[in-house]
Structure 1
Amino acid sequence: MRTFGSLLVRGLIVGLFAGLLAGTFAYVMGEPRVDAAIAIEEAGAAHTHDHGNSAEPAAEEKPLVSREGQKAGLFLATSLYGVALGGMFAVGFTLLRRRLRTGNDAYAALGLAAAGFVGIVLVPFLKYPPNPPAVGNPDTITRRTVTYLLTLVIGLLAVWAGVAASRWAARYGELARLGGGVIAFLVTIVAAYLILPRINEVPETFPATLLWQFRFASLGTQATLWLLLGFGYAATVDDRRLTRQKVVAA
């Protein structure tokens, strides 16, 4: 019988490797887009200075961390995030395992990872997709942060509503179970999207291709993290794999 400590250690280790590989994806696919966005921002600032008034401009503020330092710190950030997420995933798996109603721990881990990705990543992304540097008004950062956190909570509630409705409708058959879960999930999301404010601070001059390349790189980083976390953790708790090992040992 697996102890909580064993499940937690597995989650931390899997989360570490998932974070490292997600950081690699972000470095290859996302950082070039960040560099391009920063170049656009700097070019816009230089243009404004050249066409500004005669008043003496304020001294240019240097970033606290250079771009080289930011790129090096990317792997540390994604690794730490992966470890933290892996720990929380292990806790969630321990608490919800018996409620997931699957005959195998690996399937339970995959289902939990899929639900987490949809609720924590995909739902907020569709309403408030991330923006690269040079996009966004600094004066609205608090508002944007609050609304994003609200969508995250709503995403988790929508997943819970879908699961609850699916179990309630299961008495009427498999089709009703599937339909009930999907409808409850979509109704919750659509209602939340209609209530929450629309925020669009992308300048008309910002390249649309670069914007969506950055956004999909961000989504791809999260997808890589959750995919590896789900399959990695499922591999460590696979009952069939453990059974085969016992048979071979015997």
Structure 2
Amino acid sequence: MTADTIQLDDAGDRYVLTLDRPAQRNAINAAMIGQLHEACARVEAAPKPVLLTGRGDHFAGGADIAELRERGRAEALAGINRTLFDRVARLPVPTVGAISGFALGGGAELAYACDIRIAAPTARFGNPEPGLGILAAAGGTYRLPELVGASVAKQILLAGRILDADAALRCGLVMSIADDPLAEAHTVIDRIAKQSALALRLMKTIVDAPGSQPWVDDIAQAVLFETDDKRDRMTAFLERKR
């Protein structure tokens, strides 16, 4: 799938989804929102892990400000960006973001929606929305505190702190820093692809669910215990030990 603003490549055991507006620092406009929804629909129909990255030097420098300026109350209540980023977060597969350069505003919120983030040394995360008279309403206020804690989140959301790669690593926002974050993200997905797709899907669903419901773990485990995949994997493990 190639569109005006993104490229979705089927790489066999994974998808590679690339934001493709490098001249605009991959700013997220309405066309990109629509095309990302189409990409999500394809992943939902044929689930495989997703590697999300940006073309060029930056992941995404934010939302398209010219479009945001013209949005009014109705567009805000529709949650245009939030609805997409929540859909990305709910994809039934692990998602790994390879982040270079700016991940600011809506770009940062899209990065927060990934399950795992790998940063280049150049990566910068921030939410400067209040300086534009708005708030980080597409995941910043509720997803970021879960990722880095309320104190660091308030530093970013209220005081305008920009996290560089080292700071992002220290607070757990990123898994690692790599000179080639795309290659490192592929390495992570190599490990993911070797695991049980159903186990990963159930695990992600449970981890992301609000509250603690241990009985849900029991039900999910009961489902997995009855699969041929579980028996085959455990048999292979025991045979390797012999």
TM norm structure 1: 0.23
Bigger share in helix: 1
Q: Radius of gyration: which is bigger?
A: 1
